[in-house]
Amino acid sequence: MEIILIRHGKTQGNLAGRYIGRTDEPLAKEGADELACGQYPAADAVVSSPMLRCKMTAGIIYPDKTPVIYDDLRECDFGTFEGKTNEQLKDDPLYIKWIENAGDIPFPDGEDAKTFCRRCCAAFERAVRENVCERLAFVVHGGVIMAVMDRYCTERRSFYGWHVKNGCGYVCRWDENTKNLYIREEFRPQTQFVWA
């Protein structure tokens, strides 16, 4: 099975550099326009986060597919950091502590990174089992992609080494027996993807 992991298009929060997790904001016009101009890999079925920005992205990229929604593919809850920028948080002692710990401690009043990764990966595996096809697309969040790639990809990187920009992603081969992902392509929407 081919797995296509796509990060949603830009929102106003993304454009402003804000931590946007639980906030259910739509795509910005710029984000929607970029997606509409992009070329994406074909998919037989589409899975999406329940967040509006992902559902809108799926509708633009795959207008002929109805996405299957998995609640546990939603983005991390950034707690008190939600909606704020690095600039706004730079003097906050809790933020400084979070940065010093490489994001490995829970967000204040938010979600713990390990809990977030566990729920994303469990939802990913369930979606793969329940949507058997040749090419399955996931339209999700940057954090979800990082969690999935960090857990399943045979190529080793740091957690944040799997970060992709809005509208970008990975095409991988999924091995059901080993529960491994093998990267075929890292793509950007401005480039045309050609299946080998």
Give the amino acid at 35.
L
Sign of the dihedral through C-alpha 22, 24, 29, 32: positive
Predicted local distance difference test score (pLDDT) of residue 140: 98
Residue 149 counted as domain residue: yes
pLDDT in tens, 60-111: 999 999 999 999 999 999 999 999 999 999 999 999 998 888 777 889 999 9
Residue 45 has pLDDT above 70, yes or no: yes
CATH number of the domain enclosing 180: 3.40.50.1240
Residue 189: band (very low, low, confident or very high) from pLDDT cuts 50, 70, 90:
confident
Instruction: Give the residue with greater pLDDT, 147 vs 104.
Output: 147
Look at residue 193 and tell me if it is in a domain.
Answer: no
How many whole angstroms from its chain centre is CA 67?
15
CA distance 132 to 150: 22
pLDDT at 190: 60
- Is the residue at 36 inside a domain? yes
Percent of the chain with pLDDT over 70: 96
Domain total for the chain? 1
So what's the pLDDT on residue 12? 97
The residue-averaged pLDDT of 133-153 equals 98
Rounded-to-integer distance, Cα 140 and Cα 102, Å: 23
Confirm whether 148 is domain-assigned: yes
Question: Which residue range forms the structural domain that includes residue 10?
Answer: 2-187
